[in-house]
Amino acid sequence: MKQEDINYIPPQSVVERARVFILRTVWHSELTQAMENEARVELRLLRFPEEKTHTLIAPGAFELVHLSGVVARLYAWKRGFSQIVSVRGPTQIQSNLRLPPFFQGNFDSQLRSEFLLDSPGPIGYLQPYEPTSSSDELPIIITMGCILKGETEHNRYLAHAVLHQLAYLSATTGIPIIMGILTPDTLPQAWERVVQAKAWVKSGFLVWESRLTIDKIFGQKETS
């Protein structure tokens, strides 16, 4: 098998702000441990602090979705809000009060009002994570697992469900979730691809560098 690597070295400004979460499965634990080892080798080459690398273990690939969601919500889940709500537009008012004839019955009016919607908690909602300060963390989630082909179609349905949900979480939470879940026909094929974990690490940093570039292009400058 031809191995491909990402020809990329992340800038130190991104490396210093990152926090890496390695999520791997118990299933095929020797394989996923080897993947993690390769990822940590790459992180050491980048002089990434070990205390900012966290490993979380899931039973299988399906449960990686749950753990990824939990980690992503640490950054994307907002509690409480305060917002000025403005209401403008036509409305219909019906009155059965004893009013002068002009005001009785149905009539149209223009409603214009503003009010403060304020909730200190416990209301919570998902808000895509956007670092607004140059000191804000840049979290990276790397999922590691192996959905091996079997005698039935189970692997196809499982892979479709897991990959679809991880892609959805990555898009909606604003947290890069790197896909390190292999879908080989055989275990030897999977072992040939363990070294790709180094590229998964680089991918996480590259996504954040591109994200910060987008902010600069559209004038969303971070504050120090």
- What is the pLDDT, as a whole number, of residue 37? 98
Asked if residue 193 lies in contact with residue 182, where contact means CB atoms within 8 angstroms, the answer is yes
pLDDT of residue 106: 54
Contact present, 64 and 143 (Cβ < 8 Å): yes
Residue-level pLDDT, tens digit, the chain, 224 residues: 656 678 899 999 999 999 999 999 999 999 999 999 999 999 999 999 999 999 999 999 999 999 999 999 999 987 665 566 666 665 555 555 555 555 555 555 555 666 666 665 556 678 899 998 888 999 999 999 999 998 899 999 999 999 999 999 999 999 999 999 999 999 999 999 999 999 999 999 999 999 999 988 887 656 65
Q: What is the model's pLDDT at position 207? A: 97
Instruction: Please tell me the predicted confidence (pLDDT) of residue 113.
Output: 66
pLDDT at 120: 58
Q: What is the DSSP letter of 97?
A: S
- pLDDT at position 58: 98
Q: In Å, what is the CA distance from 161 to each residue of 59, 119, 175?
A: 16, 36, 19
- Say which CATH architecture domain 12-77+128-217 belongs to: 3-Layer(aba) Sandwich (3.40)
- What amino acid is encoded at 16 in this protein? E
Token digits of residue 63: 């449960």
Sheet holding 138-146, edge to edge: 53-58, 18-25, 138-146, 177-182
Q: Quote the pLDDT of residue 3.
A: 64
- H/E stretch holding 72 reads helix 61-76
Going from the C-alpha of 187 to that of each of 3, 29, 147, 152, 197, the distances in angstroms are 17, 12, 10, 17, 16
Catalytic positions, please?
154
Distances 69 to 20, 169, 194, 220 between C-alpha atoms, Å = 15, 7, 24, 27
**Phi and psi at residue 26, in whole multiples of 5°?**
-75, -40
Q: Specify the domain boundaries for CATH 3.40.50.960 within the chain.
A: 12-77+128-217
pLDDT of residue 94: 55
Q: How much is the pLDDT for 126?
A: 82
pLDDT, residue 80, reads 63
Burial class from Cβ neighbours inside 10 Å (0-12, 13-18, 19+) for residue 24 reads: buried
